[in-house]
Amino acid sequence: MNSVKQSNQIKHYMHSYSFLILLSAVIAIGLAKNVAASQISVHEKIENEIHSYIKAKIDKSPDKKTEIIISPIDRRKKLSFCNNNLSIALASKNGLKRNNTVSVACNGAWRIFVPVKVKTLSPIVTARKNLAVGEFLNQQNLEIKYIDTSLVIGPVVYNIEDITGSKVKRYIQGGRPLLANLICMVCKGEQVNVIAKNGKLQIKSTGLALNDGSRGQKISIKNNSSGRIIEATVMAVGQAEINLKKY
């Protein structure tokens, strides 16, 4: 009888011991999760502070959009909370650029360096579809897109109306920015209206374009009446201008 009682007591102690081990394991796992969550929230807080810091340094423009891309901080880094004493500064003294390194420090407890990319997107004219050589430009084959102009090599165009009626000189892939040197507002072998100006005085004539040109470029034109070759500045589609004061 005593042996049965002792056996039951042993079983009771074993069950209680197992329960305590299980409870300890659950508590340990919970604490570990809380610590991990705390570490993640620290990293996220730092990234949010960096974003606010960079945003405040960007020149605001209603015509442009800005993207701030922060390289994620390694979640394995053990960083303590800083209680609003976080020190953030650009590592370089050259000001904000496309690629930056941001220094973040906490009261001498720790310091990290975080890469941050800033993209400035401008609304520029792009090809809505593939554009073949000789194709005329219009509202149907052009569109405005926000593009990171720092990656574009060449003179971009900002207004579709300015180049409507221009002709494609070189193949342009759909979705790509439309560069002024890929089109001609006045094209070689075509008739061009010429306006000679001297103050309020204007003399209009026509001529044959001897080379291609976009806005602001000088081209040679053979006057239809005199046969004289003159030099004029392209002002718009099919139009060039001469400043008589220079002659």
- What amino acid occupies position 38? S
Sign of CA dihedral 54, 56, 59, 64: positive
Average pLDDT over residues 109-137: 94
24-58 confidence digits (pLDDT tens): 554 555 444 444 444 457 889 999 999 999 999 98
3-state DSSP of the chain: CHHHHHHHHHHHHHHHHHHHHHHHHHHHHHHHHHHHHHHHHHHHHHHHHHHHHHHHHCCCCCCCEEEEEECCCCCCCCCCCCCCCEEEEECCCCCCCCEEEEEEEECCCEEEEEEEEEEEEEEEEEECCCECCCCECCCCCEEEEEEEHHHCCCCECCCHHHHCCCEECCCECCCCECEHHHEECECCCCEEEEEEEECCEEEEEEEEECCCECCCCEEEEEECCCCCEEEEEEEECCEEEEEHHHC
167-200 confidence digits (pLDDT tens): 999 999 999 999 988 999 999 999 999 999 887 8
Mean pLDDT across the chain, nearest whole number? 84
Higher-pLDDT residue of 155, 7:
155
